[in-house]
Chain A
C-alpha cells in the first residue's frame, strides 16, 4: 500500500494519462476531469476504482461522484488515507 503524498500525485497523473490518452507531464492539478481531460463519469469512476485498489481504501460513492478535478481526486485519496491513519 502506498501512502506518501508526492507519489499520490504522480500515481493519479499516471492513471489519468492512461485513461484519457494524454501525456502525464501535461496534466495540471486544476484540470477538470471531464472538460479538460475528456473523462466521462464512468471513466472517472474507473479512475477512483483503480486508485482505491492501489491504496487499499474504500471511498464513499458520494465523495467519489463529487471529485470533479485532478486536485479533488488527489485530496480525496489523501484525506481517506489520513482518516485511516488516525483511526
Chain B
C-alpha cells in the first residue's frame, strides 16, 4: 500500500474527521472560524474587485489593510510575528479571498506559498530572523522567480547564473519572466544555476534577492487575460552581488528545494481554486433560482439542476482533496504527489465551474458586469501556472503507476454503514486502476515514460480516484460527527460523487488503454494541417513574439 494510503489507513476514522475541519485540528479550525467574519467584512467593504480588474492593479490601501488583518503572515511561525497556520488553515483563508477576488488571492497566495516556503522551511535561523518579521507585517511582500524565456515547463533549463567571485561574493546575471508580485515585492526567492557550489559542477540553488540590490531591475507590468489586478513582471539581474548567506537551504540543493516549495505553492493554489468554484456556484445558484423561463425558474430544468449539482460536488471534492494534501503536510508526510493531484484536479474543476457559471447565466454571463466573465478569465491561468496541467498529468500518471505497481492501491475503510456501497465502488475502481497499471506496464514498459498519452490518462484516473477517496473520507467524517438529523444531506452527495467520479475514472482508464500515440504522430504528418498561406510550425516559432524585457530600475 502506498505510504500516504498506509498512513491514512493507520489513522482510521480520524482522517475523515480531520478532513471535515478547516485546519490541522479542532483548535486551529476554531481559530480559522473566528478569523473568517473579519475577513468577510474586509472583503465586502474594502475590496473593489471590479475596479481592481478594470484598472489592472491592486490599490495600495488594499495591501495595507490586508497587512492589518495579518494576511501576509498566514504561514509565518508565530515567533516571527506571523499566524503560524497550517497549509489547510491558510488555504481556507486564501479560498475565502479567491471567492471574492482572484487578483488579491494570487498576490497573498503567492506570498504565503512560493514566496515564503523556502524561507520558512529551508532557511537558517539567522535568515529567518532577518527576513520573516517584515514579511509577516506586509512591509516586505514576497515573490518567486523560476521561469525564464527559455525555461518554463522545463525548469532545469534556467540560464540565470550566480558565480562565486574571488571576494567570496556571488555574482548573479540573468533574466526571469512572469514574476507574480514583481511590481511591488521586496523579497524575491529565485532559482539560479550555481556551478561549482556545494561541490556540484552543475548546481541549482534558491537565492534571496531584494529589490534594492544594485544591478536588480524590474520590467513593466504584463497585460493579462485574467487575474488582471495581480502584478506580473519580468525581473533582471546584471552583476548583482550577493553574500553567501543569500542562499536559501543547501548550496546547489535548488532543484530539490524548488520541488518542496512548489508542493506548498500548488496546494495553496488548489485551495484558491476552491474559492473560485464556490463563487461560481453561489452566483449560479442565485441566478437560476431567480431567473424564470418557460414559466419556471431555470433550476426546475434537469440539465440546469445537474449543472448546479456538479458544481456543488466539485466544490466539496476540490476542498477535500486540498485538505488531504494539507493533512499529509501537517504530519510531515510525503505530500508532493497529492499536491500535484490537487493542483491538477482543482484547476480543471475551477475552469469547468467557471464555464458552467457563464452558461447558467446565458447571455448575461457573457457581459462583464455580472462577474461571471471575470471569473472565467481569472480561472484560466490556474491550468497553466505552477506547472502546466499537461506536464502534471503525465508526471502524476508515471508516479502513480510506480506506486501502485510497488505497493498496490487499497482504500482505507470508511466507518459509516451508509457508505458501504460507495466504499465498494471506490475499491472496485482501485482494482481497475491496478489492472490497468499492470497491463500498461506489460504492453508499454519503459515507453510509458516517453510517450505521454497513456501516462497522462492514468494521471487523470489518479486525480479522480484521489478526489473520490478524499470526498468519501470527508463525508464519512462529517456523518460520524454530526447529529443524525443533519446527516441526511451528505448521503445524496456521496451517491452523486461516487457516480460522477467513478465515470471519470473509467473514462480515463479506457483512454489510457486505447491511447495510440503513433496514430497522432501520423496524423500530424498528413497534408492539410496548415491551410495555404499559413505559417509552418517552424516559421511560427521563429516569428513568436518575445516576452517584453524593457527594464526600469527597481
User: Which of A's residues lie within 8 Å of B, judged by CB?
Assistant: 19-22, 26, 28, 31, 35-40, 42, 45-46, 48-50, 52-53, 58-59, 61, 64
Contact = CB atoms under 8 A, between A and B. Distances in A.
Contacts, number: 54
19 contacts: A19-B156, A21-B151, A21-B156, A22-B202, A26-B202, A31-B202, A36-B201, A36-B202, A37-B202, A38-B202, A38-B255, A42-B395, A42-B398, A42-B449, A45-B398, A48-B449, A52-B446, A58-B445, A58-B446
Contacts of B255: 38, 40
B40 interface: no
B158 interface: yes
A50 B446 CA distance: 8
Interface of B: 151, 154, 156-158, 200-204, 252, 255, 259, 395, 398-399, 445-450
Nearest to A22: B202
Given A20-B202, A31-B202, A46 B156 contact: no
A48 B447 CA distance: 10
B147 to A, nearest CB: 13
Nearest to A51: B446
A35 B398 contact: no
A58 B443 CA distance: 12
A26 B449 CA distance: 25
B156 A20 contact: yes
B446 A21 contact: no
B151 A59 contact: no
Contacts of A42: 395, 398-399, 449
A47 to B, nearest CB: 9
Contacts of B449: 42, 45-46, 48-49
A31 to B, nearest CB: 7
Contact of A49 (B202, B204, B399, B450): B450
Contacts of B156: 19-22, 38-39
Given A45-B449, A48-B446, 18 more contacts: A21-B156, A26-B201, A36-B200, A36-B201, A36-B203, A37-B202, A38-B156, A38-B202, A38-B204, A38-B255, A42-B398, A48-B449, A49-B446, A49-B447, A52-B446, A53-B450, A58-B445, A59-B446
A49 B398 CA distance: 12
B367 to A, nearest CB: 45
Contact of A28 (B157, B201, B448): B201
A30 B156 CA distance: 20
A21 B395 CA distance: 18
Nearest to A27: B202
Given A42-B395, A45-B446, A21 B154 contact: yes
B201 A31 contact: yes
B345 to A, nearest CB: 19
Contacts of B204: 38
Contact of B446 (A26, A38, A40, A64): A64
A36 B202 CA distance: 5
Q: Which 9 A-B pairs have the closest CB atoms?
A: A21-B157, A49-B446, A49-B449, A45-B449, A49-B450, A38-B255, A21-B156, A46-B449, A38-B156
Given A26-B202, A37-B202, A21 B158 contact: yes
Contacts of B202: 20, 22, 26, 31, 36-38
A46 B450 contact: yes
A75 to B, nearest CB: 17
B450 A40 contact: no
Contacts of A37: 202
A50 B154 contact: no
Contacts of B445: 58
Nearest to B399: A42
A35 B253 CA distance: 8
Contacts of A20: 156, 202
A60 to B, nearest CB: 10
A48 B259 CA distance: 22
A49 B445 CA distance: 9
Contacts of B157: 21
Contacts of A52: 446
A34 to B, nearest CB: 8
Nearest to A43: B156
Q: Which of A22, A35, A46, A48 has the most CB of B within 10 A?
A: A35
Nearest to B200: A36
Contacts of A45: 398, 446, 449
A29 to B, nearest CB: 12
B340 to A, nearest CB: 11
B399 A53 contact: no
Contacts of A26: 201-202
A50 B201 contact: no
B324 to A, nearest CB: 22
A75 B26 CA distance: 55
A17 to B, nearest CB: 11
Contacts of B447: 49, 53
Nearest to A64: B446
A20 B204 CA distance: 11
Contacts of A50: 450
A52 B446 CA distance: 8
B180 to A, nearest CB: 23
Contacts of A61: 446
B403 to A, nearest CB: 12
